[in-house]
Amino acid sequence: MARCRIVNPGPLTTVQDLGRWGGQSLGYCIGGAMDIFSLKAANLLVGNEPEAAGLEFTYQGAEIIFFGRTLIAITGAEMGPMINNNKIPQWETIQVNNGDVLSFGTAHSGLRAYLAVKGGFDVPAIIGSRSTSLKEMLGGVEGRALRNRDLFNIGGVDKRCSVILKRMKKEHIPFRRCDGPIVLRTVEGPHQEYFSKKGEKTFYSAEYTVSKDADRVGYRLEGERIEHKGEAGKLISLGMVTGAVQVPGNGLPIVLTAEHRTHGGYPCIATVITIDMPKLVQCRPGDTIRFEKITLKKAQELLEDEESFFNDFDLKYVEKREVYVR
């Protein structure tokens, strides 16, 4: 077994996995990593199951010291990671040794980066998940962002053994720079009758800007107002899903993200498809997006394609080399 300790947590670092499924009937949000694609890829690069717990960094990464040998991978936003002040690449397996210090700069492409370690970060599972829900103060480390001196047990690598180092092929690494407008594909929402024809046309033709009110609960957007039909925001609360685009009375859409509440009372004009949510959550305030409608059948096909990608990850999408640990 190896360990690692947080030396400097950065502005917002949390433990995340793929979410707390099964607790919604009790009022718990699903939560989990904002950019699920990046966390899954990082885990597979170090030989973990996709759902293992990793760290999510927002805007800037943490400084972390390792005790023992292990394997790590960093994905998502480009944050200029370094080991002992020497630059290291992202989207590939890196061996770290006893006493090594991992550090980051600020994100210059995207917003959120992910760190996976061999064996995952050992924190208690609550309702089947190790993810941190900040609003609920649940999971991870005491339901909070990480602090200086937080210590984790992680998987180690023995001396005199061989390990497989992987590098994701460049053509399959997602582009996380939001030069915009970023196109988010959506399926039709359940409340079309609450919007005028003009309002629906506006939603699919206008460009929207990510506001400063964008976090793990939702992204509020600024731009042309969407016209309702009749009184707005008078729904009886009903269940909501990640990616739901709610339109309150002011006509400005809100896209629900990982820690959204399990219910909501604003009409939902559309839902951003699962595989496009990473594009949204890598956007910063000031970035622009627009929406595009696709069919539910097409959305399901795209999700199946992504699942096939991860199922065939080691066979088709990475380059591998074996090294001997002395």
For 121-131, the pLDDT digits (tens) are: 999 999 999 99
Average pLDDT (172-179) is: 75
Reading the block at residue 23, the tokens are 């607790």
32/151 same-domain check: yes
Confidence of residue 40 (pLDDT cuts 50, 70, 90): very high
Predicted pLDDT at 178:
59
Confidence of residue 324 (pLDDT cuts 50, 70, 90): confident
Distant-in-sequence, close-in-space partners of 43: CB < 8 Å, separation ≥ 6: 49, 50, 51, 52, 54, 73, 116, 120
37/171 same-domain check: yes
In the predicted model, is pLDDT for residue 179 greater than 70?
A: no
* Max mean pLDDT range (81-90, 184-193, 221-230): 81-90
d(CA 177, CA 125): 33
Predicted pLDDT at 322:
85
C-alpha to C-alpha distances, 317 to 9, 38, 54, 131, 306, nearest whole angstrom: 32, 14, 21, 27, 12
- The better pLDDT of the pair 262, 15 is held by 15
- Is position 223 within any domain? yes
Sign (positive or negative) of CA dihedral 8, 10, 12, 17: negative
186/167 same-domain check: no
Average pLDDT (168-181) is: 81
> Domain range holding 115?
2-176+313-325
* Lowest mean pLDDT, pick from 104-108, 220-224, 238-242: 238-242
**How many domains, in total, are found in the chain?**
2
102/241 same-domain check: no
Distant-in-sequence, close-in-space partners of 76: CB < 8 Å, separation ≥ 6: 35, 38, 39, 42, 57, 90, 110, 112, 113, 114, 176, 282
Question: Residue 44: what are its φ and ψ, rounded to 5°?
Answer: -65, -30
197/254 same-domain check: yes
C-alpha to C-alpha distances, 309 to 7, 46, 276, 305, 316, nearest whole angstrom: 35, 17, 15, 6, 8
In the predicted model, is pLDDT for residue 231 greater than 80?
A: no
The 10 Å Cβ neighbour count of residue 135 is: 14
Helix (H) / strand (E) containing 200: helix 197-205
Q: Is 278 helix (H, G, I), strand (E, B) or coil?
A: helix
- Is position 308 within any domain? no
144/274 same-domain check: no
- The better pLDDT of the pair 25, 244 is held by 244
Predicted pLDDT at 149:
96
Contact between 309 and 317 (Cβ < 8 Å): yes
Concatenated DSSP letters of 218-259: EEEEESSPPPBSSSSS-PPPEE--TTEEE--TTS--EEE-TT
Contact between 120 and 53 (Cβ < 8 Å): yes
15/150 same-domain check: yes
In the predicted model, is pLDDT for residue 45 greater than 90?
A: yes
* Lowest mean pLDDT, pick from 108-112, 137-141, 206-210, 261-265: 261-265
136/279 same-domain check: no
Predicted pLDDT at 24:
87
- Is position 304 within any domain? no
In the predicted model, is pLDDT for residue 229 greater than 90?
A: no
For the whole model, what pTM was predicted? 0.95
d(CA 228, CA 49): 45
19/91 same-domain check: yes
Confidence of residue 233 (pLDDT cuts 50, 70, 90): low
In the predicted model, is pLDDT for residue 162 greater than 90?
A: no
Contact between 282 and 214 (Cβ < 8 Å): no
The enclosing domain of 233 has a CATH number of 2.40.100.10
Cis peptide before 181 (omega within 30 of 0): yes
- Is position 301 within any domain? no
In the predicted model, is pLDDT for residue 19 greater than 70?
A: yes
C-alpha to C-alpha distances, 110 to 41, 120, 153, 176, 196, nearest whole angstrom: 16, 24, 29, 5, 35
